[in-house]
Amino acid sequence: MTPPAYRRPETLGDLEQLLTDIEGGEGPVRLGKRSRHVLTALVTAPQQAAVSSISDLAERLGVSPSTLSRLAQRLGFDGFAGLQAVFRRNVTEGKSFYSDQVSRLLDGEGDNDDHHARLSRLGRQESANIDDMVTGIDGEVFVRAAELLVEARRVRVHGMRQFASLASFMAYGLGMLRPDVSPLDAARHGVADALAQLDEGDVLVVASCFPYTPSVLATAEAAARQGIHVIALTDSRGSPLAKVARYSFPVPNHSLFFSNSMCAFMLLVEGLLSEAANRLGDAGLAALKRRESLIGELDASL
């Protein structure tokens, strides 16, 4: 039973906040480990939760339909249809992700004057994101993706908005180890022109999470049709990017931050770059030494 003062979630933001509270041990509803896992999967893939039948969702999540029904009831709904309606409203109406995040932060915390408590809580949430990301990594997929980053003739990295900084960081780091790596549209001539310079077997790394940037998805789909190997850094296995990628990595990003949390994404990129450096061995070391020599030469002359 839910407590008398409990107000059932009406939006995706409400569900995200409830999940954050539950994971922090502060939620008004108590859920077991399996129920928390199921709720996390639904929240991180809202489109899938909105359009799939209860049977299909249960099969994907490895649970019985009755588990989904019981979860919905624990959250205050009469049945799963009520919970699914929250996801369906989000898909059909939701274009206010960022403002919803800020409203959630301002309205429901109760510790607006305790800056350190808020920072500490954010730190705990980010630590949980990182732990869940590392635990969920498929080791074989991780190694194969790193091999592609090392062996492909060309590697391009693409992200928009805040993921543009992630793409720049990854391209810079991999470019320290091997040639012909850059953000996809580094010359600002347009994505179509940039994709036209890639051949079958080249690699495109794309990064985005809910609310997914349509142009990034379209770019990934076009690249895959051209035989370019797509590696996706995204938020769930149900992400539309994961569906077109050769290899994809689900990265949890539940936190109080008003936009998409980036900490676990950054760690994943650092991990892939470290694995690439390990696989390059002496060749990567030589590239770094050449770079250091050039830095020293230019510093002396400027």
Say what the pLDDT of residue 85 is: 87
Say what the pLDDT of residue 101 is: 52
Residue 2 and residue 26: Cα distance in Å, rounded? 14
Residue 37 and residue 132: Cα distance in Å, rounded? 11
Q: Are residues 147 and 29 in the same domain?
A: no
Q: Are residues 157 and 105 in the same domain?
A: no
Q: Are residues 149 and 268 in the same domain?
A: yes
Average pLDDT over residues 20-26: 80
Q: Which residues of 266-295 are buried (b: 16+ CB within 10 A; e: fewer)?
A: bbbbebbbebbbebbeeebeebeeeeeeee
Provide the pLDDT confidence category of residue 113 given band limits of 50, 70 and 90. Answer: low
Say what the pLDDT of residue 301 is: 63
User: Is the pTM for the entire model greater than 0.75?
Assistant: no
Say what the pLDDT of residue 274 is: 96
Pick 129 or 141 by higher pLDDT. Answer: 141
Q: Are residues 141 and 55 in the same domain?
A: no
Say what the pLDDT of residue 109 is: 46
Domain count, the chain: 2
Residue 293 in any domain: the answer is: yes
Average pLDDT over residues 220-227: 96
Say what the pLDDT of residue 106 is: 52
Last residue of a domain, one of 74, 95, 110: 110
Q: Are residues 277 and 159 in the same domain?
A: yes
Q: Are 157 and 184 in contact (CB under 8 A)?
A: yes
Say what the pLDDT of residue 129 is: 83
Task: Supply the range of the domain harboring residue 244.
Answer: 137-301
Average pLDDT over residues 118-146: 88
CATH number assigned to the domain comprising residue 71: 1.10.10.10
Q: Are residues 165 and 205 in the same domain?
A: yes
Q: Are residues 166 and 223 in the same domain?
A: yes
Q: Quick one: which H or E segment has residue 90?
A: helix 80-93
- pLDDT value at 245 more than 60: yes
- Amino acid, res. 260: N
Q: Are residues 60 and 148 in the same domain?
A: no
Q: Are residues 161 and 248 in the same domain?
A: yes
Residue 34 is encoded by which pair of tokens?
Answer: 């399996």
Q: Are residues 153 and 291 in the same domain?
A: yes
Q: Are residues 27 and 170 in the same domain?
A: no
Provide the pLDDT confidence category of residue 110 given band limits of 50, 70 and 90. Answer: very low
From 91-100, 145-154, 188-197, 203-212, the region with the lowest mean pLDDT: 91-100
- Chain mean pLDDT for the chain: 86
Pick 117 or 104 by higher pLDDT. Answer: 117
Say what the pLDDT of residue 111 is: 52
Question: Of the spans 34-43, 86-95, 118-127, 255-264, which averages the highest pLDDT?
Answer: 34-43
Provide the pLDDT confidence category of residue 59 given band limits of 50, 70 and 90. Answer: confident
Residue 230 and residue 247: Cα distance in Å, rounded? 7
Task: Extract the runs of DSSP E, i.e. beta strands, from the chain.
Answer: 155-159, 181-183, 203-207, 229-234, 247-250
Say what the pLDDT of residue 197 is: 94
Concatenating the DSSP letter of every residue in 180-217 gives: SEEETTTTSS-HHHHHHT--TT-EEEEE--SSPPHHHH
Say what the pLDDT of residue 92 is: 58
Q: Is the bond leading into 211 cis (omega within 30 degrees of zero)?
A: yes
Pick 266 or 18 by higher pLDDT. Answer: 266
Q: Are residues 92 and 143 in the same domain?
A: no
From 4-13, 120-129, 143-152, 264-273, the region with the lowest mean pLDDT: 4-13
SS3 state of residue 63 = coil
Last residue of a domain, one of 46, 75, 110: 110
Runs of H (alpha helix) within 109-208: 115-136, 139-151, 162-175, 191-196
Say what the pLDDT of residue 98 is: 52
